[in-house]
A and B are shown apart, each in its own frame.
Chain A
Amino acid sequence: MSIIVYTENWDGKFKKLSFELSSYAAKLAEMLNEETIAISIGRVEAEELKKLASYGIKKIITVTDDRLQTFDSRTYTKVISDICAKESAQVIIMANNNSGKSLAPRLSVRLKAAICSAAHELPESISPFVIRKRVFSGGALARTELKTDIKLITLTQNSFDLCESPVDVVIEAFTPEPEGASPAITIKEQEKQTGKVLLADAEIVISGGRGMKTPDNWGPLEELAELLDGATACSRPVSDEGWRPHEEHTGQTGKIIAPNVYFAIGISGATQHLAGISSSKYIVAINNDKDAPIFEAAQYGIVGDAAKILPQLVEAVKESKAS
């Protein structure tokens, strides 16, 4: 029996979430007295792979099949479930992001595994297996029992602290069975930026709302994001106005994110916006209306004009970097 972690890499380097998932799995493995195994799909160098061992992963199964270059959730599900069956998986852990949301539900049907999506903590008990998850966009927690033998958990990013527990690791290659049918998905075009911090994975997000007044005021906001290795985001009115691309829209119908710190600049904090960001560890609000609801969600706030305050924040970060 084993605990399986589905890791993700970005251009051959593990995303931080892979280490978070591994740390979570290692803790769960202690509770269940099991071994931890990580799956890595795509080309990742041995040296990079071994980093997982620092977080308690004892075995890594790599799959480098060229047929997996196109992400087809059906094909991926088959490969992962074959590995899970071979390794007698008891719990499978994935990130609650695009890939996790594509794969976990399919795997859960295939493996007859109950699923807890968007978990942020370890189960409160393992027999019965009870775990809490956020529902109603953070408005409540639901205590949920997973009733099946195999369980699936998708973990919210940045919700579980990294925990180093170095172990010896073995690396094994896995070759998927050939697929008979021709692929159901063909990629026609791909636009992909590399070298930029991805909004979904970012630990620091700097987000602007209508209080930024005009799209020309985004300069210092972008500069602050760059200085802090963060990503930029925006509220719905800003993307609707076309001031920023809609990929940046965070909120209930936009991207749902959970960074370590979310800067809401000139964002009043409508329920729908908070629904997309309420899992952030810290929220910092800058708004000229002291009664804006964003201050109820925030831990740090400044009442004032974003256009005046932002450049000073940029200066302060530059100064602290220089010293």
Chain B
Amino acid sequence: MNILVCISNVPDTTTKVKFADDNKKLDIAGIQWVINPWDELSLTRALELKDVASSEVAKVSVAHVGPATSEPTIRKALAIGADDAYRVNTEATDAMQVAAELAEVVKSGSFDIILCGIESSDYNGANVGGMLAEFLDYTSVSGISALNVSGGEINVTREIDGGKEQLVVKAPFVGIVQKGIAKEPRIAAMRGIMLARKKPIQVSEPKQAESATALLGFEAPPPRAACKFIDADNPKQLISLLQNEAKVI
């Protein structure tokens, strides 16, 4: 069984974002780029499944849509333990375009489980996984918090309203992953970093998928009103403000 983990290259989640070019673009000066946190958890779980004795997972690959400048992030995924990588050599413009390009990668190989993080921490769209599944006409399961493979059977847990469901899913499918699938993201060891230098990154040219949206520009969010402090000796006043001023309780 082969697993493909789709990874997105995002600014470190503690970045204070700034914009350039008349607020049309992200100001990338000084940004530290990382693997999108949910993608990193997906990769960690895929590797955990591969690393057990008599594992049914033969290979873990990663796929990324982005220019050569995102290779450090791909190398990081290889250093953590992925066997090989695919990169579609184009600037990502929107979810529809990224998913269409990823679909080409999936079709070019032989993958049973395709994992995507539920969203990327930059544009927060939560779209690529579902779009990819539809391009491929695969089943997709969203909100996965556990993934297991045994006896050729794929078991997943997904969150539903008010609880969770344990499912058996037929391969191939797209798993859209949230927190819980792995405890902590795996960290690359020195040996892994050395090995990663020799692992193959297969670069392909884009099929020139079109984007469905255009980003016109960024705006600062409207400022929130300053905090109104209530005396700790009189917390009842808080309840009365929430009832009569904010009218939310």
Chain A interfacial positions (CB closer than 8 Å to B): 10, 71-74, 77, 96, 98, 101-110, 112-118, 130, 132, 134-148, 184-194, 196, 198, 200-201, 203-204, 228, 246-247, 249, 252-254, 260-261, 271-272, 275, 281-282, 284-285, 295-305, 308-309, 312-313, 315-317, 319-320
Contact = CB atoms under 8 A, between A and B. Distances in A.
Interface stretch (B48-56, B162-170, B188-196): B162-170
Interface stretch (B61-69, B104-112, B235-243): B235-243
B230 A72 contact: no
Interface string B122-162: 11111111110111011111110100000000010001111
A189 B172 CA distance: 22
Interface centre among B124, B128, B173, B180 (most CB of A within 10 A): B124
Interface in B192-249: 211-221, 224-225, 227-232, 235-236, 238-243, 246, 248-249
Interface of B: 13-14, 16-17, 19, 37-38, 41, 95-96, 99, 118-119, 121-131, 133-135, 137-143, 145, 155, 159-170, 173, 176, 179-180, 211-221, 224-225, 227-232, 235-236, 238-243, 246, 248-249
A186 to B, nearest CB: 5
10 contacts: A101-B130, A115-B213, A117-B126, A144-B214, A185-B139, A187-B165, A190-B166, A253-B38, A260-B248, A303-B229
B95 to A, nearest CB: 7
Nearest to B239: A316
State the main secondary structure of chain A at its contact with B: mixed
A28 B60 CA distance: 46
Nearest to B216: A143
Contact of A102 (B119, B142, B211): B142
B8 to A, nearest CB: 14
A261 B248 contact: yes
Contacts of B122: 135-136
- Give me the 10 closest cross-chain CB pairs, A-B, nearest first: A105-B130, A304-B232, A114-B212, A109-B134, A102-B142, A192-B163, A184-B139, A316-B236, A316-B239, A105-B127
Contacts of A296: 227
State the main secondary structure of chain B at its contact with A: mixed
Given A105-B128, A115-B127, A282-B248, A141 B140 contact: no
A300 B230 contact: yes
A111 to B, nearest CB: 10
Nearest to B231: A302
A281 B242 CA distance: 12
Contact of B17 (A110, A117, A140): A140
B227 A143 contact: no
A320 B231 CA distance: 19
A190 B165 contact: yes
Given A184-B173, A282-B248, A316 B126 contact: no
B221 A134 contact: yes
B168 A194 contact: no
B161 A103 contact: no
Nearest to A249: B179
Given A106-B130, A252-B121, A302 B238 contact: yes
A198 B160 CA distance: 10
A226 B205 CA distance: 56
B241 A300 contact: yes
Contacts of A320: 239-240, 243
A122 B249 CA distance: 26
A293 to B, nearest CB: 11
Given A98-B142, A101-B126, A138-B221, A247 B134 contact: no
B130 A204 contact: no
B155 A188 contact: yes
A301 B227 contact: yes
